[in-house]
Structures are given as C-alpha cells and as structure tokens.
Amino acid sequence: MPTYAETLREAAQRLRTASVPNDLLDAQSLLAYALGQDRTYLIVHYHDEVPTEVLPPFWRSLERRCAGEPLQYITGRQAFFGLDFEVNPAVLIPRPETELIVEEVLRLASAERSEGSAGQELPPLVIDLGTGSGCLAIAIARELPQARVLAVDRSAAALEVAVRNGRRHEVMDHVQWIVGDLLEPIDERPLAWAIVSNPPYIAVEEIAGLAREVRDWEPRMALTDGGDGLDFHRRLLREAPSRLAAGGRGGRQSPASCCATQPRRRQPSWPACTAVRHSLQVRG
C-alpha cells in the first residue's frame, strides 16, 4: 500500500495537471477529510501506509477537485471568524475578507458603548441582507449576544443552510431567519442599529472571466444581479436610510446608523482588501 507521502505526491501532481491552485494543500485537506483527521495527522504519519478503505473515497474527492469543484463544497465546511460553517452549492463560500464587516460592527458597538450613546445598551437590532450561509448574522450574534439579528435571503435553500449553522452555533434565540428580497419582508419598525451585507457585485459580462471554482459552482444569484452588479447597492442606498435608527446627533453621521457593505472579490483566493463602508447620515 502507498504511504501518505507517496499518496500526497501523486494527488498534488494530479491537481497541478488539472490547474488547481494550492495543489499540495488541497491534497492534504482532502486526505485528512477522508481520514476524519486534521492535517497534523498526515505529518505525524507521513511515512505510514494509507489504510485501504480510505483510498477510494479520497481519489473520488480528488477527481471532484480536479474538475474545479471548490474544496469547501467537497468537505462541506468553511471557517469564518473562528467558527466552522456548513456550506454547499446553495450558498456562497464565506471569504476571510468578509470578516472585516464583523470587525467594523464590533468596532462601532465598542465606540458607542464607550461614548455612552445617551445611556443606551448595545445595538438592539442588526439586519443582515443576503445572509447566505448565515456567517455574518451568526458571527455578530455570537459577539453581541444582546443584539437581535434579522437574517434575510431570497433563497429558501440558502436559509436552510443558515438555520443549520445557527443551530450549530447556538444563536437561534437571537437570530430570526426570513425569506425575502432585501428589506421588503421586514417591518418598518423598530429601526435597525446597523444593516450589514456581502452583496452581489459582479457585472454579468464579467462572469465568464471568473475562476471556474466561482463561475461554475457558486450560486449565480449571490455573484451578480444580472446587470452591472450594482443594483443591490443602489437599492440599499435608497431604502436603508429610512430603516436605520437616528443617533440623536442632528446632521452628524452616527455610528449607530451604519450600513456596512463589502464588494465581492472576483476570484476564490485574493489578498486582503479594505471593506467598502457606506455610512448613511440619518437626521434626528
């Protein structure tokens, strides 16, 4: 029987031939997944023989990766903000850069708490539009347990994944899951402290130029609006101001009236970027 070292060398070569990026890392991840272990196990047992029963499912998963299927859809898992999320082709794979949105919400909450904010407590209502896997809603609910979070998505299949993730991370008492289009299904009152989103951003004519992992596998409605990619942003900037609570600061921008949105990257792996944050002025 081949050793782990021999198996990984062959697997990495197959992935390289199929033009899969991160060939060795993906080979290690898939072999660890087939074993039900982490990658450290492979290092410890590098020169040991691979169990016979592990090889068939491993090579099958490797063929899926060679065909361009994202690693996260094969394993069904993706990490986000220190949490493990279920993912499948019904939802966009959470990107590390999207964590910037969570960090910004936490920064605003901390700033408001430090300032006293007219004696109010932490944010009572956060709305997550296009929740997908639920990663933003769940991470925020875990970090701000006093907050109530409304998570909205047009896709019932995506919400099924989000609900399972919500149960896994024990936030079901804090998050309400809603099928609908943007703010339409949400009552006009109470007003939100923050609206967050990782919206579709890619112009439809640019879809063909995406990496195949994105173009052929991730949900199209999570990538593009079918036009120039900015319809979501235009609608949100139109509709959100009337749904955000005023900070009681007249014409000043209020930290409690922030809509954080992040343009989606056009490739599955990319360097860190700065989130685009549309801060909306709401007059008290």
- Quick one: 33 and 123 in the same domain? no
Q: CA 160: distance to chain centroid? A: 15
- Quick one: 127 and 245 in the same domain? yes
Please determine, for residue 247, whether its predicted confidence score (pLDDT) is greater than 80. Answer: no
Q: Which of 15, 32, 67 is the last residue of a domain?
A: 67
Please determine, for residue 280, whether its predicted confidence score (pLDDT) is greater than 60. Answer: no
- Quick one: 113 and 47 in the same domain? no
Please determine, for residue 253, whether its predicted confidence score (pLDDT) is greater than 60. Answer: no
Instruction: Examine residue 190 and say whether the peptide bond preceding it is cis (omega within 30 degrees of 0).
Output: yes
Please determine, for residue 177, whether its predicted confidence score (pLDDT) is greater than 60. Answer: yes
pLDDT value of residue 113: 78
Band of pLDDT at residue 248, cut at 50, 70 and 90: very low
| Cα four-point dihedral sign 229, 96, 238, 253 | negative
- Quick one: 54 and 140 in the same domain? no
Please determine, for residue 130, whether its predicted confidence score (pLDDT) is greater than 90. Answer: yes
- Quick one: 270 and 204 in the same domain? yes
- Quick one: 114 and 236 in the same domain? yes
User: Is 284 part of any domain?
Assistant: no
User: Is 81 part of any domain?
Assistant: no
Band of pLDDT at residue 64, cut at 50, 70 and 90: very high
**In sequence order, what are the beta bridge partners of 112?**
none
pLDDT value of residue 264: 45
Range of the domain at 234: 90-279
- Quick one: 159 and 252 in the same domain? yes
User: Is 85 part of any domain?
Assistant: no
The Cα–Cα gap between 137 and 178 comes to 12
- Quick one: 218 and 159 in the same domain? yes
CATH of the domain at 136: 3.40.50.150
User: Is 79 part of any domain?
Assistant: no
pLDDT value of residue 246: 65
Band of pLDDT at residue 165, cut at 50, 70 and 90: very high
- Quick one: 17 and 50 in the same domain? yes
- Quick one: 173 and 258 in the same domain? yes
- Quick one: 57 and 145 in the same domain? no
pTM of the shown model: 0.85
Average pLDDT for 108-122: 68
With 0-12 / 13-18 / 19 or more C-beta atoms within 10 angstroms meaning exposed / middle / buried, residue 14 is middle
User: Is 136 part of any domain?
Assistant: yes
User: Is 216 part of any domain?
Assistant: yes
Neighbours of 172 (CB within 10 A): 14
User: Is 212 part of any domain?
Assistant: yes
User: Is 97 part of any domain?
Assistant: yes
Q: Which of 33, 67, 101 is the last residue of a domain?
A: 67
Give percent of the chain above pLDDT 90: 73
Q: Which of 35, 67, 99 is the last residue of a domain?
A: 67
Q: Which residues 6+ apart lie within 8 Å of 38 measured at CB?
A: 32
Number of structural domains, the chain?
2
User: Do strands 125-129 and 148-153 pair parallel, antiparallel, or not at all (unpaired)?
Assistant: parallel
- Quick one: 63 and 100 in the same domain? no
